[in-house]
């Protein structure tokens, strides 16, 4: 019997778009994992560079790669959702197209997952050219175990590129909320019924560059092209998305979590429109629950209070 077959299948899910410059290094790091029983699901979202040809070359060489091409661009959240639903494994590892994984990443995280819905690791930051920035993600955000959905109300410290998640969490999370990053939503849903486990080991080189959808410490490196700036949504459209995010979080929270449901209802009410009363209520809510809501931030108490004060005249 093949020893690898005795281990649970891990599906690595990669969402790609115009990533020709970096995909080779990331795929090599995935295919060289010490964990032996894995498949690689790659969904390309209509790349216009050489990404598709490069992916086809890898798929011809490795029979555990399953390759899919979208007929039209659907955006990174829906692209990850599609990849997760195509995965066959009971465990899924989400992959950005431009990082580099430690060869033992999957093996070490699978040793730690236990009954947790999510286990994730630390990362070190590298620049466009792969040079170390001499920072870890834990230097920028507070990484740790999370078991409170309020910690995912406005932010997220459990990054998708460092996660392994259970298939059951995917089932509980779809459809993903289109205005919320996929890992943020997964973390929120996971804490509704379980605890997220942090493993304080650097298992990912997390690349920072101008084309990141999200980045922890973007830096301009020699040889890096300046991307075309995308038009940001108008103020009203942005506020509508934020209000919709809070509404979806409130509706997703089960009635069993009585206290959290009550807090989310109060926050949702304060987000409905700007008024002196609503602004004051929102600010007080953030002050009262700042340790829970801002648990993902590496901030001292003074900076937490300043953040809460800002909630009087803005929403996040």
Q: How far is CA 193 from CA 86, 118, 247, in A?
A: 24, 11, 19
What's the CATH fold of domain 3-207?
Spore Coat Polysaccharide Biosynthesis Protein SpsA; Chain A (3.90.550)
Check whether 228 has a pLDDT greater than 50.
no
Pairing of strands 118-126, 65-69: unpaired
Number of H helices, E strands in the chain: 11, 9
For 289, residues 6+ apart whose C-beta sits below 8 A from its C-beta are: 150, 263
Overall pTM > 0.85: yes
Place of tokens 């798929």: 59
Check whether 213 has a pLDDT greater than 90.
no
Per cent of the chain over pLDDT 90 is 85
Q: Residue ranges of the domains in the chain?
A: 3-207, 235-310
Residue 312: phi and psi, rounded to 5, are: -70, -35
Check whether 191 has a pLDDT greater than 90.
yes
- Residue 149 to residue 266: CA distance in whole angstroms: 15
Which tokens go with 191?
């804490």
Q: Mind listing the pLDDT tens digit for each residue in 146-182?
A: 999 999 999 998 999 999 999 999 999 999 999 999 9
């Amino acid at each position: 019997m093949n020893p690898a077959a005795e281990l649970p299948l891990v599906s690595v899910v990669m969402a790609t778009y115009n990533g020709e410059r970096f995909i080779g290094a990331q795929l090599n790091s995935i295919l060289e994992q010490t964990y032996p029983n894995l498949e690689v699901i790659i969904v390309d979202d209509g790349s216009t560079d050489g990404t598709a040809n490069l992916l086809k070359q890898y798929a011809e060489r490795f029979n555990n790669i399953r390759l899919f091409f979208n007929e039209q661009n659907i955006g990174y959240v829906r692209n990850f959702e599609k990849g997760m639903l195509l995965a066959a494994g009971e465990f899924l590892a989400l992959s950005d197209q431009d990082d580099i994984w430690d060869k033992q990443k999957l093996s070490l995280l699978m040793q730690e997952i236990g009954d947790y819905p999510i286990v994730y690791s630390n990362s070190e930051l590298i620049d466009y050219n792969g040079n170390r920035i001499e920072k870890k993600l834990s230097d920028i955000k507070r990484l740790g175990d999370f078991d409170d959905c309020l910690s995912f109300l406005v932010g997220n410290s459990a990054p998708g590129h460092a996660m392994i998640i259970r298939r059951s969490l995917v089932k509980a999370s779809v459809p993903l909320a289109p205005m919320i990053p996929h890992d943020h939503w997964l973390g929120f849903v996971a804490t509704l019924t379980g605890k997220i486990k942090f493993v304080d080991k650097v298992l990912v080189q997390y690349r920072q560059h101008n084309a990141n959808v999200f980045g922890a410490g973007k830096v301009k490196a020699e040889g890096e092209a300046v991307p075309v700036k995308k038009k940001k949504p108008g103020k009203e459209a942005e506020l509508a998305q934020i209000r919709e995010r809070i509404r979806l979080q409130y509706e997703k929270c089960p009635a069993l979590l009585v206290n959290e449901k009550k807090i989310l209802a109060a926050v949702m009410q304060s987000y409905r429109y700007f008024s002196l009363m609503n602004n004051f209520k929102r600010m007080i809510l953030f002050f009262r629950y700042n340790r829970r809501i801002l648990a993902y931030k590496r901030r001292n108490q003074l900076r937490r209070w300043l953040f809460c004060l800002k909630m009087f005249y803005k929403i996040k």
